[in-house]
Amino acid sequence: MSIKVLDVTLRDGGCVNNFNFGEKYMNLILSSLEEAKVDYIELGYIDERNGTERGRTQFINEKVIYNHFLKKKKDGIKYVAMIDYLKYDVMKLEPRKDDGIDGIRLCFHKKDCYNVIPSIKHIISLGYECYVQPMLTLRYSDKELIDFIDTINREISDISGFYVVDSFGEMRANEMKRLIFLVDYHLKPGIALGFHSHNNLQLSYSNAISLIDYQTNRDIMIDSSIMGMGKGAGNLNTELLLEHMNLCCKCKFNINPLIEVIDKVINQLHSEFYWGYAVEYYLSSINHCTPSYASHFYSKHMLPIEQVGELLTLIDEDKKISFDKEYAEQLYRLYNASKTYDDEKILLDLKNKFKGKEVLVIAPGKSINKYREKIDELKEKENILVITLNITSEKSDYIITTRMDAYREALNKKMNIIVPSSLAKVSSSRITVVDYKKWIVVEDDGHTRDSSAVICLNLLGFLNVKKIYLAGLDGFSNDINENYYDPFYRRPVSGFQAHARNNFYKKFINERKDEVEIEFITPSLYE
């Protein structure tokens, strides 16, 4: 028995940044792993639909790897790439070359476990080592896994490795040991047994140590990535694994190159593309679904975390394995709109109060501090109503909020509240509940826009107000410190999210101008 380390930074880590490392960073990461003397280096994905020729670790075919990236192989290291079944036609692979990749890891879902066998045979016939990666291994019953292993033993016993894959980072130590023992017992001798984990429950390191202590006659392969770089909660840390193996297994890995590349490369990537433990990934793990759902719902910043967890429990079993954005948006709207409310009488009352009025809408952008005098002056104007969006510290006639924390604080302060039925069920003297589904916007791509600003402007257009003044609707930046006047409101926004939100609100507000006069009294990216 020997323990082999397979680093997945350039492949699994690439899921964080869409594989856009750039050639300089790709070479620095590769060089650091070679100097560290890891046993296997996974260079990336081979994907004919989304792959490119250079600058990324999602490759259009295996040839571009040695033409543009893997210039010179190091002795004692094996170089592999991953193929996601049906994302590359393995019949297009050329026979293995000495200066190319040594092996291919073929990953697949349970429904395709027998369909992949011809692909595995073809990969091996071309001279590549082939590593079998049944994703979400925990989803197989013992019988299903044993039957599949028996088929592997019978039809393609010359595979190089068979993996237990903890795709959602949900395996506890007892579950990992049970599957490892089951595979070890039934798999033909001479085939390496691998383990790939994600760190949603912060168990990757402890599970790896347990596996190192496991007694078997076959080689063990453990996947890891530098600084745990990987989607969501990330992976087992290569530098931690190598340190443990040096200390406890008398290995001689060189860790300093990894520390240097963390300082020069990985830290920069981490500041731009965050990965690591987060409560939403914990929730995805205990609900046995891809973390993409938790990330999608949480990044809306519309639901308290306990409701994100509740929403995850509603995902259909057959949808949990792969993220479906359209389904996620439908589920999100259904969850919020399920709390229906008849607001016809409420709307008549609001119309009487708002019709013909001018309305000052104050949002929590940073500009409201700089333009405080102008805002206060407008507040004193006759025949004007003041609405704040999620702000409880500003004097106003009404607050419109879609956030539970702001709603609770507004209740404590006895403010007049306009709130969608997704947050409250019953109107009262101070609480005006409007039907959630009436006032949101569903974009052509199915994306749901249900912020307080959207509900407010839609509602004011319906109420036939005379004019709307907008303050603090500044627009979004991916710099978390630039978006709100109060740090309490800060939520992380990616560059992509900022761009998408700015484009939406600019178009949305311009469309509202066809219904009512709108004037920005503070600078905005939406103008």
Give the 3-state secondary structure percentages of the chain, helix then strand then coil, rounded to 5.
Answer: 40, 15, 40
Using CA atoms, how far apart are residues 501 and 453, in angstroms rounded to an integer?
12
Contact 236, 259 (CB under 8 A): no
Which of these, 143, 221, 219, lies nearest to 182 by C-alpha position? 143
Phi, psi of 194 (to 5 degrees): -110, 160
Domain-terminating residue out of 218, 250, 272: 272
Say yes or no: 173 and 193 in one domain: yes
At 383, the amino acid letter reads N
Q: Would you state the structure tokens that stand for residue 354, as one six-digit string?
A: 């708002």
User: Beta strand 161-166 with 3-7: parallel, antiparallel or unpaired?
Assistant: unpaired
Q: Would you state the structure tokens that stand for residue 66, as one six-digit string?
A: 């040695």
| CATH number of the domain residue 23 falls in | 3.20.20.70
Instruction: Report pTM.
Output: 0.79
Say yes or no: 88 and 187 in one domain: yes
Q: Would you state the structure tokens that stand for residue 191, as one six-digit string?
A: 């085939």
The pLDDT value recorded for residue 339 is: 61
Residue 252 included in any domain = yes
Say yes or no: 451 and 502 in one domain: yes
Say yes or no: 324 and 353 in one domain: no
The neighbouring-strand residues paired with 418 are 400, 432
The neighbouring-strand residues paired with 520 are 470
Using CA atoms, how far apart are residues 519 and 473, in angstroms rounded to an integer?
11
Say yes or no: 297 and 209 in one domain: no
Q: Would you state the structure tokens that stand for residue 76, as one six-digit string?
A: 């004692």
Residue 454 included in any domain = yes
CA-CA distances (angstroms) from residue 349 to 131, 427, 440, 467? 67, 12, 20, 19
Say yes or no: 153 and 300 in one domain: no
Residue 492 included in any domain = yes
Dump strand ranges (E) for 167-297: 192-197, 220-224
Residue 527 included in any domain = no
At 184, the amino acid letter reads D
User: Beta strand 220-224 with 3-7: parallel, antiparallel or unpaired?
Assistant: parallel
The pLDDT value recorded for residue 300 is: 86
Domain-terminating residue out of 215, 250, 272: 272
Domain-terminating residue out of 230, 255, 272: 272
Contact 321, 288 (CB under 8 A): no
Say yes or no: 359 and 317 in one domain: no
Say yes or no: 317 and 359 in one domain: no
The pLDDT value recorded for residue 342 is: 82
Which residue has tokens 């792969």? 322
Say yes or no: 146 and 15 in one domain: yes
**What angle (nearest 5°) sits at the alpha carbon of residue 339, between those of residues 505 and 498?**
20
CA-CA distances (angstroms) from residue 50 to 57, 82, 342, 490? 11, 14, 47, 34
Using CA atoms, how far apart are residues 471 and 520, in angstroms rounded to an integer?
6
How many helices, marked H, and strands, marked E, lie in the chain? 20, 18
Say yes or no: 441 and 313 in one domain: no
Residue 472 included in any domain = yes
Say yes or no: 241 and 356 in one domain: no
Using CA atoms, how far apart are residues 365 and 131, in angstroms rounded to an integer?
52
The pLDDT value recorded for residue 340 is: 64
DSSP one-letter code for 171: -
Q: Would you state the structure tokens that stand for residue 364, as one six-digit string?
A: 């929590």
Sorted by sequence, the CB contacts under 8 Å of residue 271 that are 6+ apart come out as none
At 370, the amino acid letter reads K
Which of these, 373, 365, 387, lies nearest to 527 by C-alpha position? 365
Using CA atoms, how far apart are residues 109 and 84, in angstroms rounded to an integer?
9
Using CA atoms, how far apart are residues 273 and 228, in angstroms rounded to an integer?
13
- Output the CA torsion sign for 497, 498, 499, 503: positive
Sorted by sequence, the CB contacts under 8 Å of residue 213 that are 6+ apart come out as none
Sorted by sequence, the CB contacts under 8 Å of residue 122 that are 6+ apart come out as 90, 91, 93
Radius of gyration of the chain (CA): 28
What string of pLDDT tens digits covers the 527 residues of the chain? 799 999 999 999 999 999 999 999 999 999 999 999 999 999 999 999 999 999 999 999 999 999 999 989 999 999 999 999 999 999 999 999 999 999 999 999 999 999 999 999 999 999 999 999 999 999 999 999 999 999 999 999 999 999 999 999 999 999 999 999 999 999 999 999 999 999 999 999 999 999 999 999 999 999 999 999 998 899 999 999 999 999 998 999 999 999 999 999 999 999 888 899 989 899 999 999 999 999 899 888 888 888 899 999 999 999 999 999 999 999 999 988 876 678 889 999 999 999 899 999 999 999 999 999 999 999 998 889 999 999 999 999 999 999 888 999 999 999 999 999 988 888 888 999 999 999 999 998 889 999 999 999 999 999 999 999 999 999 998 777 787 888 777 777 777 888 999 999 999 999 999 889 999 999 999 99
Residue 227 included in any domain = yes
DSSP one-letter code for 360: E
How many CB atoms sit inside 10 A of residue 287's CB?
Answer: 20
Contact 266, 257 (CB under 8 A): no
Domain count, the chain: 3
Using CA atoms, how far apart are residues 503 and 525, in angstroms rounded to an integer?
9
Q: Would you state the structure tokens that stand for residue 136, as one six-digit string?
A: 């979400």
Which of these, 390, 170, 240, lies nearest to 302 by C-alpha position? 390
Residue 482 included in any domain = yes
Say yes or no: 140 and 97 in one domain: yes
DSSP one-letter code for 264: I
Using CA atoms, how far apart are residues 386 and 377, in angstroms rounded to an integer?
12
At 20, the amino acid letter reads N
Which of these, 114, 109, 197, lies nearest to 148 by C-alpha position? 114
Residue 370 included in any domain = yes
- Strands in 358-362's sheet, in edge-to-edge order, are 431-434, 417-420, 398-400, 384-389, 358-362, 467-471, 517-520
Structural domain containing residue 243: 3-272
Which of these, 375, 416, 424, lies nearest to 398 by C-alpha position? 416
